[in-house]
Amino acid sequence: MKDNFLKNKNFFWIFPLLGGIISLIGLIIPAWYSKTSFKENLWIVGIIEHIFWDGSIFEILPPELFMPSLITTIFVSISSIMIIGISVLFIKGKKFLVKAEILWLLIGIIQLCALIIYINVMVTGFYNYAQRTDYSIHNFWTIYNFNFGLIFPFIGSILSIVGAIIYKMSS
């Protein structure tokens, strides 16, 4: 039974497809939230929400944090759309110059690397922002913690990579 399950390649496209969709969903969910008494949410797309007892205000992040957010948004969006597109074409039986599993693997790794770089650049950008403001006593990790908007793209890229590996192992 197990051998038949692994030899049936018809369902492996579901991992990258779900991964691409989950990654895109992550862009509309806050990626960071404030652990302090000042309630804030930060999105990968470069928006910050200041939450007050009577409402909230949305603003664009300072340049040190906005630029890495914008670049990461572009990487995650394009890679997710590519993964979804390759999955849909794979379902339809289209042939590629490069095997679909290699594309899923490479694009998933690129997305994963972009997210890791994003986290490091956000910490560095916050340090630079803090140096030119009054927040120099704080670092990024004392104020913010990650949220589902950051976890979802990680899960999406890992699903794409896992789908490619499982597909390759079943060949």
Token output for 151: 């976890």
Residues 6-25: tens digit of each pLDDT? 444 568 889 999 999 999 99
When comparing pLDDT for 159 and 136, which is higher? 159
Q: DSSP assignment of 75-99, as one string?
A: HHHHHHHHHHHHHHHHHTT---SS-
Beta bridge pairs of residue 50: 40, 57
pLDDT at 80 (0 to 100): 97
Instruction: Tell me which residue of 16, 17, 28, 68 sits closest to 148, measured CA to CA.
Output: 28
pLDDT at 59 (0 to 100): 95
Cα atoms in the 13 Å half-sphere on the side-chain side of 143: 16
Mean pLDDT of 96-103: 87
| Overall CATH class of domain 2-45+59-169 | mainly alpha
pLDDT at 10 (0 to 100): 64
Alpha-carbon distances of 71 from 51, 91, 111, 133, 166, rounded to whole Å: 26, 30, 12, 24, 30
pLDDT at 79 (0 to 100): 96
When the pLDDT of each residue in the chain is averaged and rounded to a whole number, the result is 88
Residues 115-132: tens digit of each pLDDT? 999 999 998 888 888 777
Confidence of residue 135 (pLDDT cuts 50, 70, 90): low
* Gap between the Cα atoms of 149 and 42, Å rounded: 9
pTM of the entire predicted model: 0.86
Kindly give the pairing relationship between strand 39-42 and strand 47-52.
antiparallel
pLDDT at 64 (0 to 100): 87
112 C-beta neighbours (distance < 10 Å), count: 18
**What residue spans define the domains of the chain?**
2-45+59-169
Instruction: Tell me which residue of 79, 69, 86, 83 sits closest to 129, measured CA to CA.
Output: 69
